[in-house]
Amino acid sequence: MPDSDPPAPPRRRNVVLVGFMGAGKSSIARLVARALGFEGVDTDDLVVGAARMPIHRIFRTQGEEAFRDLETAALLSLAGREHLVVSTGGGIVLREENRKHLRATGFTVWLSATVEATYERVRHNTARPLLRVPDPRATIAEMMAARAPLYRETADLHIDTSQLSMDDIAYGVTESARHAFSR
């Protein structure tokens, strides 16, 4: 009998939002959590709490790899929990182990937006360490293109948020999750 990967653990009854910065993950998570009566959890908040410093300072003083380690630990801290709506950091999909954990954590939704919509949403936020570059629009385009296959691999559902209202997005995520949970 050929070697094979062990079976994936059963999916939890959670909603997990992935996507690039500025896609609306944190805002949508709050609306979906309220609609489903679930607890909202933001992995970036867990990282900040564990490190006792803001993300931009973690990047500056400890580097991106240390941040990614904290991010993985935050994700793993949710293992076994249910009735959560989890908003994740945009780069959480960069690690293969995280992609596996995200899918096991629950019904995973990739929220995306166009490069232009993303740039307009984040351009005034000086706390975004990955955008402190000479041409942030080009950096956004490059990073989005590199991460898109990883988001796609992880997600059960993809929603482009560029032209939708927060209420419409939250409704779509909520109803899709309810349908997934009823199977």
- The domain tally of the chain equals 1
In a domain, 124, yes or no: yes
Q: Is residue 92 part of a domain?
A: yes
Q: Is residue 1 part of a domain?
A: no
pLDDT digits (tens, 9 = 90+) for 155-172: 999 999 999 999 999 999
Confidence at residue 124, expressed as pLDDT on a 0 to 100 scale: 79
**How far, in Å, CA of 31 to CA of 28, rounded?**
5
pLDDT value at residue 129 = 64
Q: Is residue 105 part of a domain?
A: yes
Q: Cβ(141)–Cβ(115) under 8 Å?
A: yes
Rounded distance, CA 144 to CA 110, Å? 12
Q: Shortest CA distance to 54 belongs to which of 2, 15, 89? A: 89
- Whole-number pLDDT of residue 136: 87
Q: What is the pTM of this model?
A: 0.90
Spell out the residues 6+ positions from residue 146 whose beta carbon is closer than 8 angstroms to its own: none
Give the CATH number of the domain where residue 73 resides.
Answer: 3.40.50.300
Helix or strand or coil: residue 156? coil
**Residues of the domain holding 87:** 15-181
Whether 10 maps to a domain, the answer reads no
Residue 31 to residue 122: CA distance in whole angstroms: 20
Please indicate, yes or no, if residue 36 is contained in any of the structural domains.
yes
Whether the pLDDT of residue 5 is over 80: the answer is no
- Tell me if 129 is assigned to some domain: yes
| Predicted local confidence at residue 1, as pLDDT | 47
* pLDDT-derived band at 182, boundaries 50, 70, 90: confident
User: What pLDDT, in 10s, does the model give residues 11-38?
Assistant: 689 999 999 998 999 999 999 999 999 9
pLDDT tens-digit map of 106-149: 999 999 999 999 999 888 776 776 677 888 899 999 999 999 99
